[in-house]
Amino acid sequence: MPARSQPGRPAGAAPDAVDPARAEEFLHQVYAETSPAIPFAARLRQVRTEIERTGVYSHTNHELTFGARVAWRNSARCIGRLYWKSLQVRDLRHLHDPADVAQESVGHLRAATRDGKIRSTITVFAPDGPGRAGPRIRNDQLIRYAGHRDADGNVTGDPAQVAFTDHVVSLGWPRPEPRGRFDVLPLLVTGGDGRSRLFDVPPDAVEEVPLSHPELDWFAGMGLRWHAVPAISNMPLEIGGVHYPAAPFNGWYLDTEIGARNLADRDRYDLLPEIAERMGLDTRSVRTMWRDRAAIELVRAVTHSYDEAGVTMADHHTESERFLTHVARENEAGRRCPADWSWIVPPVSGGLTPVFHRYYDEPDPELRPAFLPPHGI
């Protein structure tokens, strides 16, 4: 993967030491919910000694796996948390060089894709430590499509990625010619020295699904497609006070994420007007519900296409029921289940799903382990 670079981070940006209280709190949780081989008192002494000596401590593989899974369990915006115990953890904490991070991010895509049988996966790279920063992946997902804005202000591709696309172009990424609607962006990885490098994502690591409709024959002619694995890559993972700035993770897509948001939102691909026109709908007034009707058919096309391609995808009705199963299990375990209602309720047919008709525990920004707010580019 060819690489290009930019200047390093300013001096004085080194991470802080781990708070021993955070570490102890996490260990109490580990030992309350699981049965590690080493006694609690002995492990606590090890951790305290290591923090005192180095400012940080190293999680055991058991602690890392538990922490990553609980971070998913704590994710208030995720409707798919019923499966939190099945998260596959790739422990690559020994890797910090941008080239290695990029190579194993591609490895993450291959491991998670599995010919369409998507597996929930997280890859954890080197953590931050006193005097040294871990690597950072600047893309918000490992796979994103470029947004190309022309001189007239029109955008080819994903408008949400225009700023990031312009940024990587300024670092040396050559825009594809001709510019397409689904050009995969390169990975932008920052090393511990603050220098960022670009790496192309090999085409064979990006499984994509061409979109068609079960009844509307013209739909396939629109040339639409979407990728199989939604791997979030710019949200740091915090476990027991240890900060992992590069920890890409994925589940699988919900049908409405693509059909009612990525391809439908006015500030994204904004396809509803074109679809409505092709369907022959009256678009002169919103009271004809043309946007609603077009959105439903777009979601149907996405679900149909992923099913036809054999790529794992959840539908919003089934996943809503499964989320309430998760909530019930958490309550039975004596745990709160924080949820952001605006993210849990699907963007179409919300009132037809069971998650709409109830309240949830409020999200707690201090809850740990957790995936933290994204870092910028």
List the catalytic residues.
Answer: 78, 81, 252, 257
How does DSSP assign 66-96, residue by residue? HHHHHHHHT-TT-S-GGGGGG-EEEE-TT--
Query: Are the CB atoms for 195 and 170 separated by under 8 Å?
Result: no
Closest by alpha carbon to 228, among 70, 138, 116, 86? Answer: 116
Structure tokens at 63: 């602690």
Residues near 77 by Cβ (< 8 Å), separated by ≥ 6? 340, 343, 344, 363
Q: Are strands 136-137 and 187-190 parallel, antiparallel or unpaired?
A: antiparallel
Length of the chain: 377
Q: Which amino acid is at 303?
A: T
What is the Cβ-side half-sphere exposure of residue 314, based on CA atoms within 13 angstroms?
A: 25
Distance of CA 269 to the CA centre of its chain: 19
Cβ neighbourhood burial of 214 (10 Å; 0-12, 13-18, 19+): middle
